[in-house]
Amino acid sequence: GFGYTLGNSLRRTLLSSIPGASVTSIRIDSVLHEFSTIEGVTEDVTEIILNLKGLVVSSEHDEPVTMYLRKSGAGDVTAADITPPAGVEVHNPDLKIATLSDKGKLEMELVVERGRGYVSAVQNKGADNEIGRMPVDSIYSPVLKVTYKVEATRVEQRTDFDKLVIDVETKPSIRPRDAIASAGKTLVELFGLARELNVEAEGIDIGPSPVDEQLAADLALPVEDLQLTVRSYNCLKREGIHTVGELISRSEQDLLDIRNFGAKSIDEVKAKLHEMGLSLKDSAPGFDPHAALAAYGDDDYDDAYVEDEQL
């Protein structure tokens, strides 16, 4: 069921991302710019540049390399007249570049670079471009055309398989089979980024952090282990507060509402929680703890009641 997914991905990669080589700039003897004419040459410089766009080359070098063309006398100037360095090959030697008269002479330098896609002459023009060197448009992609179709196919008793048929047309510098292999390698590398997102997590048992473990233990600690005074403990127990977690879910205002739980008990609880790095829940907006403590005081303690509760 992935015929269209794979076919579309391969097509886009083949047309845009297959590396190739192309001429990026030229230099012609005694010519300063592309709007010049050359004595003894039928074509002007602009037409020569247009013809050179059809030149198909391949290069094994990552750095720019220079090819040379020297021709004199009547006749056609073709790509076969170009002298490439080692590691560079011209694949369409029959390409016509210019036409010379009896007294015509053409000497040219052609810079070849590797790249991907299309790069305009403006982009090929360097900041330190020397006088007389003319940048040209570069079409690096060696793939000319890609089409694909998906057909339903049967494998044994199953009929839900896809058959992907790809038609690839390339320049002579690369075989269609090699172009597809290059596109497949590119896609594998790209999808590998997604596959490796969880590699570091495989085989690793990530447990709770020490901080989380300590906090969980503190919250589960029984209130009786806080070593509070008898009356404070009994008041909390009578209110149904049995653990530290339940205690810190209450505010000062909540605790002051407990019978016989006054200012001293509040201070005692806050001190114990502070030792553990914890605190009571914030009271409701507008609650004044000082006014509340002053109102309650400690007169509301009934020691007899509390002691009886403890017993």
The CATH code of the domain that includes 272 is 1.10.150.20
Q: 119 near 24, Cβ under 8 Å?
A: yes
- Domains in the chain, number: 2
Q: Are residues 27 and 114 in the same domain?
A: yes
**Strand segments (E) across 73-216:** 75-78, 82-83, 88-90, 96-100, 105-115, 118-119, 133-135, 138-139, 143-155, 158-170
Instruction: Flag whether 157 is in a domain.
Output: no
Q: Are residues 215 and 107 in the same domain?
A: no
Instruction: Flag whether 100 is in a domain.
Output: yes
Structure tokens at 136: 């040209």
Q: Are residues 29 and 129 in the same domain?
A: yes
Q: Are residues 124 and 230 in the same domain?
A: no
Q: Are residues 124 and 222 in the same domain?
A: no
Q: Which residues on adjacent β-strands are paired with residue 134?
A: 26
Q: What residue numbers bound the domain in which 53 lies?
A: 19-140
Q: Which residues on adjacent β-strands are paired with residue 27?
A: 109, 133
Q: Are residues 24 and 133 in the same domain?
A: yes
Cα-to-chain-centroid distance, residue 53: 34
Q: What is the pLDDT of residue 306?
A: 43
Instruction: Flag whether 103 is in a domain.
Output: yes
Q: Pick the closest to residue 247 from 221, 214, 215 (CA basis).
A: 221
Structure tokens at 33: 């710019």
Looking at 92, 113, 140, which one is the last position of a domain? 140
Q: Pick the closest to residue 179 from 20, 53, 3, 5 (CA basis).
A: 20
Segments of the chain scoring below 50 in pLDDT: 204, 299-311
Q: 48 near 97, Cβ under 8 Å?
A: yes
Helix (H) or strand (E) holding 46: helix 45-52
Which domain CATH number covers 122? 2.170.120.12
Which 8-state DSSP code applies to residue 224? G
Looking at 101, 120, 140, which one is the last position of a domain? 140
Cα angle 83, 106, 104; round to 5:
135
Instruction: Flag whether 146 is in a domain.
Output: no
Q: What is the pLDDT of residue 270?
A: 87
Q: Is the pTM of this model over 0.85?
A: no
Instruction: Flag whether 149 is in a domain.
Output: no
Helix (H) or strand (E) holding 72: strand 65-72
Q: What is the pLDDT of residue 295?
A: 60
Instruction: Flag whether 180 is in a domain.
Output: no
Structure tokens at 234: 């009994």
Looking at 119, 140, 161, which one is the last position of a domain? 140
Q: What is the pLDDT of residue 89?
A: 92
Q: Is 65 helix (H, G, I), strand (E, B) or coil?
A: strand
Instruction: Flag whether 7 is in a domain.
Output: no
Q: What is the pLDDT of residue 85?
A: 92
Instruction: Flag whether 188 is in a domain.
Output: no
Q: Could you tell me which residues come within 8 angstroms of residue 260 by beta carbon, excluding any fewer than 6 positions away?
A: 231, 235, 300, 301, 302, 305, 306
Q: What is the pLDDT of residue 291?
A: 63
User: For 160-169, how does the pLDDT look when each residue is reduced to its tens digit (9 = 90+)?
Assistant: 788 899 999 9
